[in-house]
């Protein structure tokens, strides 16, 4: 299992995070003002994610037509200092 790198300099905001360049091979998240660089997902992760999406889409179609499933990367802004993907 690959691990995330933690890079701490100063407490960053979403605005700082949004200005960071995208580099292939990693995703960036902002957790409590700190940048966390995650490795790209593995094939098995992507396979499981795709299957889970299919299950959730089927569920929402039958039981909750207003429900939606979103794919990464997608910034989820939880606070000024926390953005997850």
Q: How far apart are CA 26 and CA 18, in angstroms?
A: 15
C-beta separation of 12 from 33 below 8 A: yes
**pTM of the full structure:** 0.64
> Taking 60 as the threshold, does the pLDDT of residue 37 lie above it?
yes
Sign of CA dihedral 66, 30, 6, 33: negative
Residues 20-36 pLDDT 10s: 887 777 888 999 999 88
Q: Is the pLDDT of residue 79 over 80?
A: yes
Helix, strand, or coil here: 53?
A: helix
Closest CA to 4 of 12, 21, 30, 46: 30
pLDDT one-digit tens code per residue, 42-60: 999 999 999 999 999 999 9
């Amino acid at each position: 299992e690959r691990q995330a790198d933690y890079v701490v300099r100063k407490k960053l905001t979403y605005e700082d995070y949004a200005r960071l360049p995208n580099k292939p091979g990693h995703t960036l998240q902002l957790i409590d003002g700190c940048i966390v660089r995650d490795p790209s997902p593995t094939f098995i992760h992507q396979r499981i994610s795709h299957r889970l999406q299919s299950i959730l889409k089927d569920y929402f179609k039958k039981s909750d037509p207003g429900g939606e499933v979103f794919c990464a990367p997608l910034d989820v802004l939880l606070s000024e200092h926390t953005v997850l993907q």
